[in-house]
Each structure stands twice: as C-alpha cells, then as structure tokens.
Amino acid sequence: MLTSTAWQLTAGGLFLLPVAAAVEGPPPAPSLPTLLAFGYVALVATALAFVAWFTGLRHLPAGTVGLIGLLNPVTGVLLGTVVAGEVLTAQQVCGLLLVLAGVVLGRPLTRPQPCPQPRPRFRLRHGWRFSGPASARRPTRAKPDVSPPIGQPGK
C-alpha cells in the first residue's frame, strides 16, 4: 500500500510540474539550503506521515484515522508560529478551536465489550434429540457427556 501511495504522489507531482511551470514561470535557482529543505519535506516528512497514517489504519478504526488528517492544518499553523515566528491571529485561533472541536465531536463512540462467556467443560455427545410423538416434536437437550479433561485419567 505504501509503495502504491508513493507512486501516486510521484505521478501527481510529475503531472503538475508542467502546469506549475506554465502558470508560475520557471522556478528560481535553488540554493543548497533550499534543496536540503525540499529534500527533507519531500522524503522525510512525507514518508514519515504516510508510514504513521498506514500504521494508524492497521491499529485504529478508519473513522478515527480520518479525523487525524484534520490535524494537519493545526500542526502547520502552530509550527509556523513557534518555528517561523509567524503571528497567530484571532481568526486562526477560532479556526484551530473549530477544527479541534470537530475532531473531538467526530470521534466514534465506543461501547464496552461484553465479557466472553466461559466455555463449558463438557460436550454434547448427540446434540439435539427429539422425544414424544411425531406431532409434538420439540427439541430437548441431550444429556451432557461429562468426560474428564484431556490428559487426566477417568474415574
């Protein structure tokens, strides 16, 4: 699945490259810090995000993992504020609170799972049996075969 996603991202980027060049013009000459930052975002951050995404899908319900994707803009705004020194406006705070409220309210309800019933220590030898006249047949349980547990001698 991860390989398929990587190829989809590569194909999408190659498809959008000529469109971006036509609309935006040629890109500026990249410097070494720009290339390192681009490589980090393209390889490390994206790969880590998708590995975390698919790991979450293996261990969590899909509805919960889908809600985690809504936290991407929250993370971007907060990192921009902390790392890049961007100003956090009142509109952004309201947007962050709305997104967080949506994540909390969108979580699937969990119900307590019933405790499994203990398995009986006997087995039925003949299962259901019928008794009485043919017109009034109703099933009755056969007497259980009370055998000793496996590995223990009988009495």
Average pLDDT over residues 147-154: 61
Output the CA–CA distances (angstroms, integers) from residue 65 to 47, 68, 69, in the order listed. 17, 5, 7
Give the C-alpha separation, 38 to 7, whole Å.
18
Angle at 78 between CA 77 and CA 79, to 5 degrees: 95
Mean per-residue pLDDT of the chain: 78
pLDDT digits (tens, 9 = 90+) for 13-68: 999 999 999 999 988 888 999 999 988 888 888 888 888 888 888 888 878 888 88
Compute CA 142 distance to the chain's CA centroid, rounded to the nearest angstrom: 47
Note the pLDDT tens digit of each residue in 92-132.
Answer: 999 999 999 998 888 777 665 666 665 555 455 555 544 45
For residue 89, give the H/E element and its range: none
Residue 27: phi and psi, rounded to 5, are -70, 155
The answer to whether 37 touches 44, Cβ cutoff 8 Å, is no
Say which residue, 94 or 149, is predicted with more confidence: 94
Domain segments of the chain as ranges: 32-105
Helix (H) or strand (E) holding 124: strand 123-124
Tokens of 138: 């109703």
81 against 110, higher pLDDT = 81
